[in-house]
Amino acid sequence: MIAVINYGAGNLKSISKAIEKIGKKVTITNDPEVVQSADAIILPGVGAFETAMKNLEWFIPFLKDTKTPVLGICLGMQLFATISEEGGLHRGLDIIPGRVVRFPQSVRKIPHMGWNEVDFEDHYLFERIENRFFYFVHSYYFDTKDYVIAYTDYGVRFPSAVAKDNYIGVQFHPEKSGKNGLKLLENFVENI
């Protein structure tokens, strides 16, 4: 069973439907016992960093120590960072060193919204994905040099996917990325 953590972020229903579409059992929950017994955990991603960390406070020790596969989507990936500059300075989970920063004003249009190319490395998450375009919606990005498995250009070259041990994060929304997104989710759950 895949647990989608309900911590006040958006996109709970769309990510759950995408998981169901690939034939996996999924539950939306904020019950620690349910999450701890899951085969994999998804941190969905629409919302504010500070609010998300406050809403996850009850679960931070488990998230930092779990051996269960965790997929962070958009804001969920950003929560892996050491610190975020969104709305002030706020501590993240510090799973992967780095900062969440806003796109510079010189960058095209903010938020970065729409389809963009993802330049990915050889990683199981991207196996059998032919088209490199995924759907993005974000004004901040995870600025890190560590554990990066994909980059995207949007005025600046930023990490669009990271992987460290059992933690995987994607800045884009696989649940809104059509066939590519479903394949990526399938690759994630096939490797748990």
| Sequence-ordered list of residues with C-beta below 8 angstroms from that of 9, at least 6 positions apart, any chain | 43, 44, 45, 46, 47, 52, 75, 76
CB 99, CB 143: distance < 8 Å: yes
CA dist., res. 151 & res. 149, Å (int): 7
Tokens representing residue 41 in the block: 């955990």
Q: Is residue 112 among the annotated active site residues?
A: no
CA dist., res. 152 & res. 162, Å (int): 12
- Which one is catalytic: 86, 90, 173, 186? 173
- Which one is catalytic: 86, 90, 112, 175? 175
- Which one is catalytic: 74, 112, 138, 186? 74
Q: Is residue 138 among the annotated active site residues?
A: no
Q: Is residue 130 among the annotated active site residues?
A: no
Catalytically active residues are 74, 173, 175
